[in-house]
Structure 1
Amino acid sequence: MNPTSRLFLGLGLCLSAQAFAAPLTFDETAFREDVKTLASDAFGGRAPLSDGEQKTLDYLTHAFKSMGLKGAFNGEYLQAVPMAKITADQSMVLKVGELSFTSGEDFTARTQRVVPKVELSGSDMVFVGYGINAPEYGWNDYAGIDVRGKTVVLLVNDPGFATQDPKVFKGNAMTYYGRWTYKYEEAARQGAEAVFIVHEDAPAAYGWGVVKNSNTNTKFTLVDGNNNQSQVGVMGWLQYAAAKQILAASGQDIEALKAAAKAPGFKAVPLTVQADLTLSNHIERAESHNVAAILPGNKNADEAVVMHAHWDHLGQIEEEGKTIILNGAVDNATGVAGVLALARHYAALPEAEKPARSMIFSAFTAEETGLIGAQYFAENPPLPTSKLVAFLNIDGMNVGEGVDYILRYGEGVSELETMLSDAAKAQNRQVKADPRPQNGLMFRSDHFALAQQGVPGLLFMSLGDTDPDYIAHKYHKGADDYSPDWQLGGVKQDLKLIEQILSRLANGSEWPKWLEESDFKARRAKDGR
């Protein structure tokens, strides 16, 4: 897929369908119980392949059974997702010339290669700007440099954010070229052995604590036929201060390099220092699971609308000798509880009011470690992706009071934007553009994996817009806990809005269309949609 087109992750569909059933009645008691349970210490942070996973699977399976919904996978509720569980020894030390750096504090390093050890020994280092190769923008940070077998150091986000010029990439709105996932992918295509992304809060959109918690813990990966050997050996991050020292050791000023890197025609800078690192891994192969239930349509049962939230979070970490459980209450126990609330609503409808199309209610594994469950589902769906009408995804809900707007992630992307606008208008709310387009939220949740298969999606996310403290002090941290003080006005209004869109999709006959020319649109066209 051309990564540029990935920027335009869809929100689409303009249908003429009317409301078909009684509107959703919000059961606050059930919602609170779902979140409180899933985000309890007993579930251990819901890490894949943990005791918390089994408890989560049992809870969701029981919930769907109690609603009378069938399993979506040939009658089964669970879809096995084979993966490798890789735990890196955090006593590793990164040495660059005479400098030494501590794992977790100065840098992070992990791998998706399924091997017990990855070793950098005297690895030549190269600063490659933003590490972007984007022909459509006339941009190639790798032009004229051979990085095969080397260690590349690069900047997070893309030149559009750095310049704030809408004529450079997409300006303040992050493209997929700005995401760390792309940077590792492109470095692998260029033959690099290791990648270290320089972290800064603003362009990364989160603090170092998020990087540390996300990359020094156990990680998961799907495994190809060659144990992922085509991927880079070391997927790393550097604290800004550590990167500044490394570049200075080569006689380079980091701020001068940043200024040069945001201008067209930047040339990669070979450094005069080498990297040494031994990354030792404990590897387990195991199966995690996606969960999904289906409500068969009463007219077009072979077509389905998917309502989703990822069930996993980050498990537990050790800090200063203490075990901290990352319960992920808002991210994403609230999303899962929202899916359950919607599933209960549709399952309880009288037979005459059941939707024409089938509805799939899903919760995937390993979103937090790279959309792994979503990728597996997208490649192994219970119905062909050509039969999936749209994919609606909740990744964090507004647990405070209701607001007079709904966030839209993307603009002019697909026809679902019209439906979002119509549903918001019915609630006397306005559609508000993503206030942080530089964060690249469209690429950071499970709908992205389905979009890669051509299925348009809507992302419903409320993490920091109503709680400014959330990203700074709760996101991917121990403080993301359930609170009985939550107002839940935002949850109530958003679930009712989502239900209106779902009903229109499930009872309509048209298909969401991508508006932007993109690989998403081209992929959908291959399915005749």
Structure 2
Amino acid sequence: MNSRNSLLMTFISTLFLSACSQQLPDAPASEVNLDSTHRHLKILASDEFGGRGPLTEGETLTIDYLAKQYRAMGLTGANKGSFFQGVPMAKLTSDQSMLLTIGDLEFQAGTDFTARTQQMNSNIRLKDSEVVFVGYGINAPEYHWNDYRDIDVKGKTVIVLVNDPGFATQDEKLFTGNAMTYYGRWTYKYEEAARQGAKAVLIVHETAPAAYPWSVVESSNTGSKYSLVDDNENLSKLPIMGWLQHEATQRVFAEAGLDFEQLKQAAVQRSFEARSLKLAANLELRTEIEHAESNNVLALIKGSTRPDETVIVSAHWDHFGTRQTAEGPKIFNGAIDNATGVAGTLEIARILMKRHKVKPFERSILFANFTAEETGMIGSELFGNGDVVPTENIVGLLNIDGMNALDGVDYVLQYGQGMSELEDYLARAASKQQRHVKPDPRPQNGLFFRSDHFSLAKQGVPGLLFMSLGDTDPDYISHKYHKEADDYSPSWSLGGMEQEISLIVDIASELASGDDWPRWKADSDFKKRREQDKR
């Protein structure tokens, strides 16, 4: 080819490539800085932070780190200028040398049962307390269901099944079928038993309906627990909150001359009648009580025209801290649960603050890192009282509780179905990423009721839960969840975090730039509360 023809071909090729680049533009560069996200994760999940236990040195390191990061980005403290909201609470540590006796049987704490209290009472005794089986322990008029019908459990020890009859039967016409209702949550079991006047509750643990193995029950209930304290020293709370291992339960029923599996099957019928086991329970629950103050971390991007209207982005900062064992200290670093979520909020805040400087958001965006989620959503419960932001001013809440630190996926998980119009925002944002919305693959686990957004839902605020605990890592739930093995890895690609961070940025930006107030779809107490606030 001569030089003249060569030049002509080069010119034509240049024109062709230029045309192609105009027709197929490069995808916009990601706003997410994965290097800084890795850095936040490594620090928050480090042994130096000691597992981020509330009321420990790990808390001080964590909340100071978060406040420093938010301040450096240009955010301000959301609590009257402060980045901290004090959360007065009690730290309750139960003596694990306790023994439970039922009839002539003796059970070991941790191995066979767990027991704790939220009452400010250092010594609670069960003395010859009558043991009663009340099926699922549910009183739900809307489902025409009352397990406490025609029985008095005042002062007694109640044994109840976890989850609800819908899961047990897989009957879509019973409760909500496979999807857990709030009546299936252990928190509800304790609340209802307290209303009925029971002295103690033992929830029967089975892995499938509980959604986690006994090891999770043990690790979650045998260390220090935390509680808000009311004006009556929590005396309206259930005196003894317990779990009973499945095999131990079978032994109890056999001692009473009954077949547990047979009675469990009977309990799925509306006609089921609670019955006494004609056995007495004895237990001395000794608890060390310390009063102290933990902290929520709250950072604000103030809206330009409607600053009182607020969008919340949240993630709990706490995990289980460090526990002393016979083998030495064990640090529960909680890298996925929930250092990923906290690192995510920091990166979301950085991106949104950068956008806000270019074009201010009309509404405010508040970043909330709550304390003591792992012990009963305590920090978010206090925040839900509305002292910092009245709940009627909260547009919606986007809550992160464990992110996919591995490669990206072509879907986004949705927890709850037909709950609120925020699900429509989720679908639109996912579509922009060419991802589809995937319904919760384990609705029987009731995850919608198990994280901080639920504290605000009870106050009428619609929310979305972003969670990936084991969805892309099948080994996570069985070997890492709430265990010492939940550690940071520098090999994580963070592709999934990059997707979710961008998704949440998109939804938060839309909410903060508009004037829409997402509504609840399903009839519920949440919807009634919201409609009452908006009158």
TM-score range, shorter chain: over 0.9
Please tell me whether the aligned partners of residues 395 and 517 of structure 2 are also in contact (alpha carbons under 8 angstroms).
Answer: yes
Alignment of 1:412-423 (within 5 A): 412-423=418-429
Alignment of 1:198-237 (within 5 A): 198-237=204-243
Separation of aligned partners in 1, 2:499 and 2:364: 24
> Does the alignment pair 1:87 with 2:87?
no
Matched to 2:251, the amino acid is Q
Separation of aligned partners in 2, 1:351 and 1:113: 48
Please tell me whether the aligned partners of residues 164 and 171 of structure 1 are also in contact (alpha carbons under 8 angstroms).
Answer: yes
The structure 2 residue matched to 1:107, chosen from 91, 107, 113, is: 113
Measured after TM superposition, the shift of residue 323 of structure 1 is 1.8
SS at match of 1:367: coil
- The aligned residue for residue 161 of structure 1 is 167
Alignment of 1:333-482 (within 5 A): 333-349=339-355, 351-482=357-488
Q: Deviations over 1:392-421 (max 9, x none)?
A: 000000011111100111111111111111
SS at match of 1:524: helix
Measured after TM superposition, the shift of residue 132 of structure 1 is 0.5
Unmatched 5+ stretches in structure 1: 1-21
- The aligned residue for residue 488 of structure 1 is 494
Query: How many residues matched?
Result: 508
Please tell me whether the aligned partners of residues 24 and 345 of structure 1 are also in contact (alpha carbons under 8 angstroms).
Answer: no
Measured after TM superposition, the shift of residue 374 of structure 1 is 0.3
Separation of aligned partners in 2, 1:405 and 1:350: 28
Task: Give the TM-score of the pair, scaled to structure 2.
Answer: 0.94
Measured after TM superposition, the shift of residue 320 of structure 1 is 4.5
Structure 1's consecutive aligned runs of 4 or more residues displaced over 6 angstroms after TM superposition are none
Q: Deviations over 1:285-338 (max 9, x none)?
A: 110100001011112111110100000001123445332111000000000000
Separation of aligned partners in 2, 1:457 and 1:117: 39
SS at match of 1:246: helix
> Does the alignment pair 1:506 with 2:509?
no
SS at match of 2:303: coil
The structure 2 residue matched to 1:526, chosen from 524, 527, 532, is: 532
Unmatched 5+ stretches in structure 2: 1-27
Task: Give the TM-score of the pair, scaled to structure 1.
Answer: 0.95
> Does the alignment pair 1:137 with 2:143?
yes
Measured after TM superposition, the shift of residue 354 of structure 1 is 2.2
Q: Deviations over 1:405-442 (max 9, x none)?
A: 00111111111111111111111111010000000000
Q: Return 279-288 or 309-318, whichever deviates more.
A: 309-318
Alignment of 1:69-88 (within 5 A): 69-88=75-94
> Does the alignment pair 1:43 with 2:55?
no
Separation of aligned partners in 1, 2:90 and 2:463: 28
Measured after TM superposition, the shift of residue 136 of structure 1 is 1.0
SS at match of 2:355: coil
Please tell me whether the aligned partners of residues 83 and 286 of structure 1 are also in contact (alpha carbons under 8 angstroms).
Answer: yes
Measured after TM superposition, the shift of residue 353 of structure 1 is 1.3
Separation of aligned partners in 1, 2:328 and 2:262: 41
SS at match of 1:349: helix
TM-aligned CA distance change 1:512 to 1:350, over 3 Å: closer
Measured after TM superposition, the shift of residue 346 of structure 1 is 1.6
- The aligned residue for residue 17 of structure 1 is none
SS at match of 2:101: strand
Separation of aligned partners in 1, 2:80 and 2:288: 35
Matched to 2:155, the amino acid is G
SS at match of 1:286: strand
Please tell me whether the aligned partners of residues 131 and 277 of structure 2 are also in contact (alpha carbons under 8 angstroms).
Answer: yes
> Does the alignment pair 1:187 with 2:193?
yes
Measured after TM superposition, the shift of residue 349 of structure 1 is 2.9
Separation of aligned partners in 1, 2:523 and 2:98: 45
> Does the alignment pair 1:517 with 2:520?
no
Separation of aligned partners in 2, 1:525 and 1:255: 44
> Does the alignment pair 1:54 with 2:60?
yes
Superposed CA RMSD in Å reads 1.1
- The aligned residue for residue 304 of structure 1 is 310
Separation of aligned partners in 1, 2:126 and 2:423: 48
- The aligned residue for residue 11 of structure 1 is none
TM-aligned CA distance change 1:434 to 1:245, over 3 Å: same
- The aligned residue for residue 23 of structure 2 is none
Please tell me whether the aligned partners of residues 352 and 505 of structure 2 are also in contact (alpha carbons under 8 angstroms).
Answer: no
TM-aligned CA distance change 1:257 to 1:320, over 3 Å: farther
Among all aligned residue pairs of Structure 1 and Structure 2, give the percentage whose two residues are the same amino acid. Answer: 58
Measured after TM superposition, the shift of residue 209 of structure 1 is 0.6
Q: Deviations over 1:59-93 (max 9, x none)?
A: 01111111111100000010001111100000000
Which structure is larger by alpha-carbon Rg, 1 or 2?
2
SS at match of 1:73: coil
Measured after TM superposition, the shift of residue 23 of structure 1 is 8.2
Matched to 2:107, the amino acid is F
SS at match of 1:496: helix
Separation of aligned partners in 2, 1:423 and 1:175: 27
Separation of aligned partners in 1, 2:143 and 2:103: 36
Separation of aligned partners in 1, 2:335 and 2:244: 29
The structure 1 residue matched to 2:296, chosen from 282, 290, 298, is: 290
> Does the alignment pair 1:264 with 2:266?
no
SS at match of 2:300: strand
Please tell me whether the aligned partners of residues 349 and 367 of structure 2 are also in contact (alpha carbons under 8 angstroms).
Answer: yes
